[in-house]
Each structure stands twice: as structure tokens, then as C-alpha cells.
Amino acid sequence: MPPSRHADLESIKKYLDEKHQGDNHPVYKLALTSEALMANPRWNKGMGFTAEERETFDLVGKLPVKVNTLDEQCARAWDQYKTRKDNLARNTFLQSLKAQNWVLYYSLLGRNLKDVLPVVYTPTAEAISNYSHLFRRSEGLFLSFPNRERMEKDFISATQGRNIDLIVVSDSEAILGIGDQGVGGIGISTAKSVIYTLVGGVDPSMALPIVLDVGTNNKQLLDDPMYVGWQHERIRGQEYDDFVDKFVQLVRKHLPHCLIHFEDFGVTNARRILDRYRPQHACFNDDIQGTGAVTLAALMSAVGVTKSKLTDQRILVYGAGTAGLGIAIQLRDAMIQADNCPREEANSKIYLIDKEGLITKDFGQDGRIRQGQEEFARPDHEWEEEKKASLKSGQISLLDVVKKVKPTVLIGTSTHAGGFTEEIVKEMSSHVDRPIIFPLSNPTRLVEVDPSKANEWSKGKALLATGSPFPPAKMPNGKDYVIAECNNALIYPGIGYGAIITESKTVSDSMIIAGAQALAGLSPALTDPDAALLPDFQDAPTVNYEVAVAVAEHAIDEGFANVKWGKAEVREKLKQKIWRPVYGTYQFHADGEK
């Protein structure tokens, strides 16, 4: 029997591990034989082909005589992986493995999830910035501006005859930590697709990574004779909008139920593209909504520990770019939905600070307020004294705001290393019993405060979550405090899969909030106030299943779903559709899969 919504992780895992009849022994009819079969990563088993299959598919003599189990193949591949000395070499090894054998690749990753995450989920900067120099074979679809007139032809060629549930697309302008990488951003699209399969259960044959090659403003790439993308400055304005629109309309025309996942679009484009297409199609921006959703889940967990409500919080977001603004909007929307808080009142509980200080209404007079920030801009008259006393031309500093507002929540998305100083943490802690401090900037060298320092300066009172993995901090009683990692991969695959399974017309705010509530409900801190605010990443597959259930149920409730079954069947439908990296039994058929 499916577990209840409030079941613990172990109960959910047990349910998911219960084998459906035939699940672990699927039978496939294939038309491929010999070298063509071994060259196809979807069907290749390598040393895993049985003796009977080797005879049937003309593989005898083309492989050594021994037959290996998948366990044996994983052990060999893991030994090979460990000989690689750095993340770039490991990334290259895994890419090669994926190009040979999908089942082995995903089985290896699933068995070593936490170890391989930094190599797969966030490909090394070297791997992406050196994409053109490391290029061996293409993966995914490259839609280039010079070829815009034939975009539909190229799109159909890549999708015809395939059941595509998911497209992950990037224009590569704002790749985390390394910025504009032009066509190399295909590495981000493929990595995100991998995570959808690894922890979300999406069949890899039904996912398509895409890069929109609209040029690059990276001078190093523009001057590099080895660069494989379009060597031209980025197009802007109407030309850019028309190109993106042509792509989206092709998806709507040919794949009407396919989820579009936008990734690493620039700050001037990310939100407006999302806002433009959300009413038309199921789409999702991980940098905006994924970051906001996982932060909301961590905050809901922290609020549960303090036995308060979201609307009781005074929230300070340090860093008002794409991620920071996305978090602010997500938290505001959750207050409206979960606590029935009026929109204006919810806005008033959130303070945004960017590089020019606290965002106030007068920022709008000279165009310093970007779309979406205006609702959070503070009235000027509230801050006249601080502006007069400011040493930086009227800028209101983070410390000024902490002293006056006495925030209960401090969130960092600024990439200002050390921005949460000892004085700031101590000032905040002096007014709050359990200060909630989330230094989320990536990579670790840019984090606002090392969580062990925040723990020390708050005398062990702080409830902490970070954007990168950190070791546990020591509590005053000597106990380890596990630092929760606000890793988007704990939630975005589940949000996406919930929309996919229901063929939802959109990904609504309430669907995302439902996913965040499901994630928060699995928090270890709810049973032990000194435990981590979020589940461990090793549990990501189970966690994302539960997120997907909540999202799918809300899609049905809101009337966005395009399926004929109801909420009572959601858990079983999701379980049945989860792709698992297991070898099936192959039978030859002239009209079979190719």
C-alpha cells in the first residue's frame, strides 16, 4: 500500500523498493545488432550481454568470453574512476562512460551519489570553459542564431520518433561562478538532465539538452580560434526575443506536454522570459524558482523548529540578483498562500540589499530598480537618518539594516565573501533566540560566512543552511551540528517530474510551494531541533519522489493536469514511470527499437 503524505523517508524508500512485476526484468525488442548495438549507449550492455544475447545479436567474438553482472561492471568502473586525479579528469571519464552505456553510468552514479555530485551536478569550471578544447563528440541539440531559418528542421530531426518529456535549455550567459561561456553551456544542460534521471527518475531517452547559441561576450572565446560556437557578440533586444520565441513555439507545436527547464539565462532575461511563457506552457527556471523553493523548504523547517510562522519573520536578503529576488518572491508567495497574508503585508516583511545598499523607493528615480524588485523597495522616509549618517553617499549598509530591523532571517546570495561579519551575526543573535542564517552563495570561496563561524558567533543558536556542502559545526555542548545544504537538486527534479507525469499546462506557484512543503516535511530538524534543516543528499531520489507527488496532486487540484486519472493514483503512477538503471532482456525483431 502506498505510504501516507506524512510518512518518514524509510517508509517511502521501502515502498519504492517494492518491485513491480517485470520491473527488474523488462523485455525489449531490438533491430540493432553487432557493432551498431554496442555503439548505442541506450542499449549497450558491454560485458553484461548474456551468452544467449551474444549469439542472437552477433556479438560472439566481439566481446571477451566472460559475462559480468551489473554489480561487477560498477565495481570495475568505480576503480577506474578513482584513478583519475582531479575533477576534470573524473568528469571526462564519466562523460565517456555515459557515451557508452547509460545503465552502467546511472547505476554507478546512484551507488556513489554524494561522491560524484560535485563532478556531475556542477561540472568543473574547466570542463565548461574549455569545452571547445576538450570537444570530442556532441551531445544534445545546438540551435545557433546563424541557422535560425532552419531551426524547425533541426528541431524535428532531433525529436522525431522520440517521446520527449523534458527539455533543459540554456543560453549560457550566466553560468554559476564563470559567467558567459557561449556554446559550452551545453554542459550545464546535459548535467541538469542527468540529475533529472539520477534523482528524479526521468527516462534519459525522453530528455533533450539544448543550448541556444546566440553568441558570447566572453572575449577569450571570441578570440579563440578553437571555439566551436558562433564567434559573435551576443545578440540583444528584439532579435534575441524573436529567436527565443521561435524555439518556445516549436516546443509548443511539436511537444505540447514537454516541460521546458530554463537554466543559466542572464539577469536581464531570466525572469522576463519565465514570466512571458509561464501562462502559455509548462516551464520552470531553476535559478529563480528552484533556488527559491529549496530555500523556502529550509526556512519552513527552521520556522517549525522555532514554532513560529512564515509571517512572523523579518527577512533580510543580501544580494538582489536573479537568485535573491527569486527567493524573496517565493517566500512572499508562500506567506500569501500558506498563512493567508495580504500581498502588501507579505512584501513588507522582506528587505532586499544589493551592492548599493538597501533597495529603497528612490532607486526607481534613476532606473536602479529591476523588474520584480519594486514591490520590495522600502519607503525612503523610514531610512532618512541612516542615509544621512552613511559614509557611502547615502547607501544603507547590511549592518544598518540588521541593527534597525532586527531580522529573524538572514539570507545571502551576494557572492560577497565574508559579508556576514562577526559584528553582524552577533548583533542579529542579540535580538533573536534562534537566528536563521542561510549563506547560500556559491562556490564556497564566495560564501557570506563559514557556517562554523556563524555557529560560534551565535553561541550555537543559529539555524543554518548553505549553498555548498560544509562539514558539521561544533555546538557548545560538543555535539556536531549538521549543516543543511540548500541544493536545488533536492527539489527541482521532483517539481519537474510532478508536472511531467500530469502533463500539466503550467508550473504554478502553488505547485512549487506544495513541493517545498513536502521537502520541509521530511526535515530531520522536525524530530531533533539540532539536526539538519534538510534531508541528506543521499536521500535525494526518495525526497524528489515525495516532492513530485505533492506537485502532481496540486496540478490535478488546480485543473492544470491533462490526464484522466486522479489524485488517488498519483503515487502508483509516479512509481511505475520511474526509470531505473537495470538491464532488460533483449529479443531480436526486424521492426524493433533502433
Rounded to the nearest 10°, the torsion over CA 544, 549, 554, 557 is 170
Q: Tell the burial category of 214 from Cβ atoms under 10 Å away from its Cβ (0-12, 13-18, 19+).
A: buried
C-alpha cell at 195: 540529475
The secondary structure element, H or E, covering residue 352 is strand 350-354
C-alpha cell at 451: 557556517
437: nearest Cα among 420, 414, 422 = 420
542: nearest Cα among 483, 475, 491 = 491
Task: Determine the 3-state secondary structure of 63 from DSSP.
Answer: strand
> What CA–CA distances, in Å, run from 8 to 299, 524, 535, 546?
20, 10, 11, 10
| Parallel, antiparallel or unpaired: strands 436-439 and 409-412 | parallel
What one-character DSSP code corresponds to residue 179?
Answer: B
- Mutual orientation of helices 291-306 and 509-520 as an angle, nearest 10°? 50
Cα 501 to Cα 200: distance, rounded to the nearest angstrom: 11
Instruction: Out of 98, 192, 349, 387, pick the active-site residue.
Output: 192
| Parallel, antiparallel or unpaired: strands 357-358 and 350-354 | antiparallel
Residue 209: phi and psi, rounded to 5, are: -80, 140
C-alpha cell at 64: 571477451
Amino acid letter for position 271: R
Is 85 in the active site? no
- Are residues 32 and 40 in contact, defined by beta-carbon separation less than 8 angstroms? yes
- Are residues 508 and 564 in contact, defined by beta-carbon separation less than 8 angstroms? no
Instruction: Out of 121, 318, 351, 545, pick the active-site residue.
Output: 121
Is 192 in the active site? yes
What are the residue numbers of the active site?
121, 192
